[in-house]
Amino acid sequence: MRVVILARVSTDKQEYNRQVVELTDYCDKMGYEVMRVFASKVSGTKKNEDRPEIMEMLQYIEQNNIDKVCVLEISRLGRNTLEALKIIELLNERKVCLFIKNYNLETLDKDGKINPITSLITTILLEVAQMERHTIIDRMASGRDQYIAKCRRDGIKMGRPSTYRKSDDTMREQYKKEISLLKQGMSLRNISIITGTSIMTIRKLYKFAQK
């Protein structure tokens, strides 16, 4: 069984290593051959065409006779129900099974046919994940509004001072690894994946890599 692992987190501050380790351990126990890991730090609400790891994975699957894609949970596929279902449909068309570990679900049966029960469950789980995201956003917005209102009542000025700026020495010290990778010619996206630093910040480090 030739498989690939798909992992995703939503922000630069999060790490996907736990997902990769847990899925790799599972594949080892099942005797699956992990051909490649596709991991990214990107919002799950983005369209598939704006997620390079998804497009790269689909191309890789076609070229390497992959049997199964493993994810830890359905929300790692995406929190946009429509876009996530598109990915499942594309996998189904290629006779590639999607395995969702936390629910032990597989989208195709042993004969490569679509499992209708799994299709229903995955759609429901994706809708729940999308609803959870909207709830979190609403809570964050409410908390932010309350905090802003309190600051205004108390006369507290918000945000960094307008003159705030990190010195060059501080930047060099804080982002040693990123600068080193830039000097090696690594792409911004790959550096961002490895270090968790935003691409915007890495762009600011170019001047240090050229010295």
**Same domain for 121 and 22?**
yes
**Same domain for 100 and 179?**
no
**Same domain for 13 and 112?**
yes
Q: Among 127, 143, 176, where does a domain finish?
A: 127
Q: Among 104, 127, 150, where does a domain finish?
A: 127
**Pick the residue with more confidence: 35 or 159?**
35
CATH code of 78's domain: 3.40.50.1390
Domain around 81: 2-127
Looking at the domain assignment, is residue 97 inside a domain? yes
Whether residue 164 has pLDDT greater than 60? no
**Same domain for 107 and 196?**
no
**Same domain for 114 and 174?**
no
Q: What average pLDDT does the structure give for the chain?
A: 81
Looking at the domain assignment, is residue 151 inside a domain? no
Global confidence as pTM: 0.57
Provide the strand spans (E) within the chain: 2-9, 33-41, 68-71, 97-100, 105-106
Looking at the domain assignment, is residue 156 inside a domain? no
**Same domain for 20 and 117?**
yes
Q: Which of helix, strand or coil describes residue 4? A: strand
Q: Among 127, 142, 158, where does a domain finish?
A: 127
Quickly list DSSP for 129-172.
Answer: HHHHHHHHHHHHHHHHHHHHHHHHHHTPPPSS-TT----HHHHH
Residues 99-144 have pLDDT tens digits of 999 889 999 988 889 988 888 888 887 777 667 656 766 777 777 7
Q: What is the tally of structural domains in the chain?
A: 2
DSSP 8: E
Do residues 41 and 196 make contact, with C-beta atoms less than 8 angstroms apart?
yes
Whether residue 28 has pLDDT greater than 90? yes
Percent of the chain exceeding pLDDT 90 equals 21
Query: What's the confidence (pLDDT) of residue 35?
Result: 95
Query: What's the confidence (pLDDT) of residue 80?
Result: 75
Whether residue 192 has pLDDT greater than 70? yes
pLDDT confidence band for 199 (50 / 70 / 90): confident
**Same domain for 173 and 70?**
no
pLDDT confidence band for 44 (50 / 70 / 90): very low
